[in-house]
Structure 1
Amino acid sequence: MSTASESGGRGSTTRAVIVDDSRFMRTLIRRLLEEGGIEVVGEADDGSEAVDAVVEYDPDVVTMDIEMPTMNGIEAVEAIMDEHPTPVLMLSAHAEEDADVTFEALDRGAVDFVTKPGGEVTSSMPQVKRELVEKVESAARVDLSANARMSSKNASAATSASTSSAERTGAGASGVTTSRPSRKADSEPSASAAAGRSYPDAGTLVIGASTGGPNVVERVLSGLPRAANLRVLVVQHMPEGFTGRFSTRLDDKSEYTVQEAEESERIGPGEARVAPGGHHLVVSGDRNGRLRLELTETEPIHGVRPAVDLVMASAAENAAHPLCAVLLTGMGRDGVDGMGRIADAGGHTIAQDEATSAIFGMPKRAIETGSVETVAPAEEIAENALQYFAEE
């Protein structure tokens, strides 16, 4: 099983199985991966064959198509996680309907996704290859046991919440981590987190995440009561075309109004914005309790756009206190400098711990700089942030 280490898997070369019902696409993906130094140890043209190939070859990672005969990609992900847990990277077409299915695959156990290469050879192919190889390398290093631990704690919290309302209103993280279809209609868990507390008229929470982040971001947002009066900014490394659907998912599970950020808009307490794929998000001002947001298409930072560093640095410079930054699971160092900027500005900084991080890269590097005040498991991050924002 892959681990959270960023220094490599079982050997010096990442081993992959390719799953796609198109022979042409399998050939193209194989070529791109092998040119990028990935060893392709097996192929499959449907989900059932994929399960057999994973058992036979024991790869570091699987690239998985979504629509296939006999057994589709989502069913294959579930079967692989049941029979031979292996990191699965979904290859998704750039379409809204595929975005919904892709997020469902993440719910079932896939660790990340990448836009599926087009069939034509264009000038963008080197970039496509670089992104595919980087995503495969990152997915291969995911610690699946971290996901299992977090899922187990989710189940325990849900069971506790359904059997004891007294536990829901007590202190600690269990009252804010219950998994629910929609928090808009039922706000009891996060309302309990606000019980007995008062909050400033406006606070700012910045959340950054990469590989393994979507479900953790959902968990943090679902644990924030509207009464906390936060303006929330989310940067999740995600391709253009998917952040809109991600925003909708967060909106369904949060008491906050969550949308994809727009150019020159202002947001106030109770509102959250997600940086759109392909754009940097920056805070340009804070007036009358409302943050002014700008979008840019300047060069990627750390190879990504949006970048966590940029929104954190701009929030440190332009957002009024209280200010809190959260850095979640992910490979690389995006967000490390931003956490330092927020710490220097007097804000509070929280990093996800190793045990619940799919990849303990970004949080680890931030911790090593000394700029992180609190290291917390995924299920305690929302509560820790709320304790910081609560007025004495």
Structure 2
Amino acid sequence: MPRSSPRAVVADDSHFMRSVISDILSEGGIDVVAQAKNGHEAVQAVREHDPDVVTMDVEMPEMDGIEAVGRIMAQHPTPILMLSAHTDEDADVTFEALQKGAVDFFTKPGGEVSMEMSRLKDQLVDIVHSVAQAEPRAGDTAAETTSSGAGTERPDAAPERYGGRPTLVIGSSTGGPTVVEEVMSSLPLTASLRVLIVQHMPGGFTGRFAERLDARSEYDVSEAQDGARIGSGEALVAAGDQHMEVANYSHGRLRVSLTDDPPVNSVRPAVDVTMKSAAETVDDRLIGVILTGMGEDGADGIRALKERGARTIAQDEASSAVFGMPKRAIETGCVDTITSIESIPAAILDAVPQEVH
């Protein structure tokens, strides 16, 4: 079956929602080969039909979506899109599913579900097409880290002290949350970075994402608030549905502003907005990183950073769930280093000057 017509399994405990989702996907050119009302049926359907993508509800009886993701990734690795409600509990569970190997998530609307799903149908079809093209990755070890920030092994060559007051801007989308965790958990506090993270993610999830990064890295990570300031050893995650701009930079501390300006590259927050504002405002060392994701967001930002003299890094195709954003950035000719996700922390540290003792 050509990629333009992926085969899908739809798993949801609600017959109504299974029908709505299946109809939307079918109308969008996606072949729904099976439906499942719980995790057991989803695992069996994947084994029997070998689909290109699964849409997986989080809350289901008998076997929930989290356990189903784990079993599918262990037995028959398949790209999975989680369908999550806008609740704190579902946000936590959704991140657990991503850690187990799900590629991305889509938030179910509240209220009149049928009307809202109809309004969002183009977004759902687009993301299912994108996830269907992803390379499924097994869950990684970041899930096992503790709140002390004991993450993945740090590069052996990391020197004890760094200088240059570097600012790191990371942009990612589809498949991004777990790889951003992997990067952040591998960066030593001694690098003295100021970190800005733009992950395409709706409001209600970015706060939880920031909490996870805070627990799994040595950095003090929080969700961006308008006017927030950060210095060495601190990081901000762009808030869902708001652009994050670098408004001011002075003596190693930067301040951000949040705006409701129209989407850029059809997304808000946009990586381009944050990277361009950093290039215009920050007069110390700059490092730009583009990770896995669909679309072209970040390409113009990487160009602006490079023109400002920044070191620029992109995730390679082999380790990207979706190679859209890194590919577009690389095509600008403004990327210095193209490497695997495992080597990106070392590439970041290579861009930070060592202090002379």
What is the DSSP-based 3-state SS (H/G/I as helix, E as strand, rest coil) of the residue aligned with 1:389? coil
Please identify, of 336-345 and 189-198, the stretch whose mean Cα deviation from structure 2 is larger.
Answer: 189-198
Q: Partner of 1:31 in structure 2?
A: 23
Residue of structure 1 equivalent to 2:39: 47
TM-score by length of 2: 0.93
1:94 to 41, 64, 86: 86
Matched, 1:357 2:320: yes
Equivalent-residue separation in structure 1 for 2:62 and 2:148 (angstroms): 38
Partner of 2:350: 387
CA contact (8 A) 1:212 1:357 kept: yes
Question: Residues 256-275 of structure 1, C-alpha deviation per residue, up to 9 Å, x if partnerless?
Answer: 10000000121111110000
Quote how far apart the aligned CAs of 1:386 are: 1.0
Structure 2 residue aligned with 1:75: 67
Aligned pairs (5 A) from 1:222-233: 222-233=185-196
Question: Aligned ranges for residues 246-257 of structure 1 at < 5 Å?
Answer: 246-257=209-220
Over 3 Å counting, the alpha-carbon distance change for 1:85 and 1:198 in structure 2 is closer
Aligned: 1:310 with 2:273: yes
Judging changes above 3 Å, is the alpha-carbon distance between structure 1 residues 122 and 296 closer, same or farther for their aligned structure 2 residues?
A: farther
Deviation, structure 1 residue 36: 2.3
Alignment of 1:103-252 (within 5 A): 103-118=95-110, 120=112, 124-144=116-136, 147-148=137-138, 151=140, 181-182=145-146, 184=148, 186=150, 190=154, 194-200=158-164, 202-252=165-215
Given the superposition, is the C-alpha separation of residues 193 and 133 from structure 1 closer, same or farther in structure 2, using an over 3 Å criterion? same
C-alpha contact 1:197 1:390 (8 A) present in aligned 2: no
Determine if contact 1:321/1:347 at 8 Å carries over to the other structure: no
* Deviation of 1:118 (Å): 3.6
- Asked if 1 retains the 8 angstrom alpha-carbon contact of 2:293 and 2:323, the reply is yes
- Looking at structure 1, the residues matched to 297 and 305 of structure 2 have their Cα atoms a distance apart, in angstroms, of 14
Shift of 1:86: 1.0
Q: Following the alignment from structure 1 to structure 2, what is the Cα–Cα distance between the partners of residues 305 and 57? A: 36
Instruction: Give the percent of matched residue pairs that are identical in Structure 1 and Structure 2.
Output: 55
- Contact kept, 8 Å, 1:25 with 1:119, in 2: the verdict is no
Match of 2:311 in 1: 348
The answer to whether structure 1 residue 280 and structure 2 residue 272 are counterparts is: no
SS of residue paired to 2:62: coil
The letter of the residue matching 1:345 is: R
- What amino acid is the match of 2:98? L
Cα distance between partner residues in 1 of 2:222 and 2:79: 29
Residues 358 and 180 of structure 1, relative CA distance in 2, 3 Å threshold: same
Going from structure 1 to structure 2, the CA distance change for 1:69 and 1:183 (only over 3 Å counts) comes to: closer
In structure 1, what is the Cα distance between the partners aligned to 2:90 and 2:181? 20
CA offset digits 1:353-374 (Å, max 9, x no partner): 1111111111112112110000
Alpha-carbon distance change, 126 to 295 in structure 1, aligned in 2, over 3 angstroms: farther
Query: Residue by residue, what CA displacement relative to the aligned partner does 1:21-57 show, whole Å, maximum 9, x if unpaired?
Result: 1101111111222232222111010111111111222
CA distance in 2, matches of 1:74, 1:222: 23
Aligned letter for 1:61? V
CA distance in 1, matches of 2:291, 2:149: 28
1:343 Cα deviation from its structure 2 partner? 0.3
Q: Aligned partner of 2:305: which letter?
A: I
Residue segments in structure 2 that go unaligned for 5+ positions in a row: none
Shift of 1:83: 2.2
Report SS of the residue matched to 2:351.
helix
Query: Letter of the aligned partner of 1:375 in structure 2?
Result: I
Q: CA deviation at 1:182?
A: 2.8
Cα distance in 1, alignment partners of residues 13 and 188 from structure 2: 45
User: Counterparts of 2:6 and 2:155 in 1: how far apart (Å)?
Assistant: 46
CA contact (8 A) 2:152 2:182 kept: no
Q: Does 1:63 align with 2:27?
A: no
Shift of 1:122: 7.6
Distance of 2:17 and 2:45 partners within structure 1: 18
Post-superposition Cα deviations, 1:227-272, rounded to whole Å, max 9, x if no partner, equal 2111100001111110100000000111110000000121111110
The TM-score with structure 1 as length reference comes to 0.85
Question: CA contact under 8 A between 1:182 and 1:254: conserved in structure 2?
Answer: no
Q: Gaps (5+ residues) in structure 1?
A: 1-8, 155-177
Is 1:259 the counterpart of 2:222? The answer is: yes
- 1:187 and 1:333 map into 2 onto residues whose CA distance is 30
- Aligned-residue RMSD, C-alpha: 2.1
Amino acid at match of 1:302: N
Quote the Cα distance in structure 1 between the aligned partners of 2:301 and 2:116: 30
Conserved? CA contact 1:331–1:360, under 8 Å = yes
